[in-house]
Amino acid sequence: AQKITQTQPGMFVQEKEAVTLDCTYDTSDPSYGLFWYKQPSSGEMIFLIYQGSYDQQNATEGRYSLNFQKARKSANLVISASQLGDSAMYFCAMRPNFGNEKLTFGTGTRLTIIP
Amino acid sequence: DARVTQTPRHKVTEMGQEVTMRCQPILGHNTVFWYRQTMMQGLELLAYFRNRAPLDDSGMPKDRFSAEMPDATLATLKIQPSEPRDSAVYFCASGSGGGLVYEQYFGPGTRLTVT
């Protein structure tokens, strides 16, 4: 079984500052993928970034980077130079690379960017 | 810009009525997922298909829910009869699964309210 833990229900960050959203996971699968999704108030789920368990380097996508620490089973999302449009719910998720391909989601972190 | 489409976007119905939700996956994607989002349970997988064949529907209440893919461009989720506890946002997601790595792209969701 897989489990995702997001311990920050809500965060407030000043515009233009960097923000780190925490995510820890638990799995017995040897190969897996970690994902972050953004859900703005409009409700859609927007894929942000992916990290494979065997990737040697941390994933980056524009202002998003994933701080992957495999030994600690953490996959924190870092948003640099935050913008007002970053205000949303953020979900960490994981999926095994073999077998059942369902995404297991965390409970999410509500990020609010303050002007 | 390829997107997953879902119809209807909103549905209000009375308890006992049949509800059908439709999803058009991104062209070329061979894997389709149905997720449900509620405040209490968060995001959870209901079922998923690969090449139109169901691979896992263990998350679905079998007595009232059914999911099908009549063709590669259409996935349906049906609830009959609907109950107030089915009120949730239902997301369809698609991906080009079967390989080691792929992302799941979500549709805008169908917000279902059963009174």
Residues of chain A with pLDDT under 50: none
Predicted confidence (pLDDT) at residue B97 exceeds the cutoff of 80: no
Which positions in chain B have a beta carbon within 8 angstroms of at least one beta carbon in chain A?
Answer: 31, 33, 35, 42-45, 48, 55-56, 59, 89, 91, 93, 97, 100-101, 103-109, 111
- Strand-pair category, A109-114 with A10-14: parallel
Neighbouring-strand partners of residue A95: A33
Q: How many CB atoms lie within 10 A of CB A96?
A: 18
Q: What is the pLDDT of residues A39-62, one digit of tens each?
A: 999 999 999 999 999 998 999 999
Neighbouring-strand partners of residue B68: B76
Round to whole Å and give the CA distance between A51 and B103. Answer: 10
| Ramachandran angles phi, psi of A86, nearest 5° | -80, -10
Round to whole Å and give the CA distance between B108 and B28. Answer: 19
* Structural tokens at position B41: 């349970």
Q: How many helices (H) and strands (E) does chain A have?
A: 0, 12
- Residue A115 is which amino acid? P
Predicted confidence (pLDDT) at residue B103 exceeds the cutoff of 90: no
B-interface mutation test, from A50, A101, A109, most B Cβ less than 10 A away: A101
Q: Which residues of B touch A43 (CB under 8 A)?
A: 89, 108-109, 111
> H or E stretch including B38?
strand B31-38
Nearest chain B alpha carbon to A45: B106
Sequence length of chain A is 115
* Structural tokens at position B47: 């079922």
Question: Confidence band (pLDDT; 50, 70, 90) for B96?
Answer: confident
Round to whole Å and give the CA distance between A4 and A103. Answer: 10
Question: Confidence band (pLDDT; 50, 70, 90) for B86?
Answer: very high
Place of tokens 């972050």: A36
Closest Cα partner for A86 from A35, A24, A17, A33? Answer: A17
